[in-house]
Amino acid sequence: MKRFLTDIFTWWNGATMGTRFWTWRKGEFVGEDELGNRYYRDRGEDDRRWVIFNGPVEASTIPPGWHGWIHHRVDAPPAPYEPREWEKPHEPNLTGTAAAYRPPGSILGAPARPQSDGEYEAWTP
């Protein structure tokens, strides 16, 4: 029951029931990327393109080739992609989470200020 209600009312947990119905009714499957995201286009005269994410909706999981296709920069869907040995695997966007990067001195960083090394001399009037 929880899964059913989540599918109806939330868009960030995957495709809603409306998106699934639209895909079933008007969608033409184009391809799938290495992360399991599925890409569709409209069967009709419109040139709509959309993606159904595998897991939570995270726009940064769309690979570069599919990004170009979904934004109408290229007409043909990309060929299967073979990453180079120097390329790193995808990391999710951690902004807004506890695991987000916080540089030294950030208000949200460590609660204690780092100790001074003695090179600083305070100004006195």
Give the pLDDT score at 104.
Answer: 75
Give the pLDDT score at 20.
Answer: 83
Query: What residue segments make up the domains of the chain, in order of their start?
Result: 2-70
Residues 7-22: tens digit of each pLDDT: 677 766 677 778 888 8
Give the pLDDT score at 106.
Answer: 78
Q: Residue 106: exposed, middle, or buried by beta-carbon count in 10 A (0-12, 13-18, 19+)?
A: exposed
Query: For residues 85 and 104, what is the distance between their CA atoms, to the nearest angstrom?
Result: 32
Give the pLDDT score at 12.
Answer: 66
Specify the pairing of strand 38-42 against strand 27-32.
Answer: antiparallel
Give the pLDDT score at 69.
Answer: 93
Low-confidence ranges of the chain (pLDDT < 70): 7, 11-13, 110-114, 116
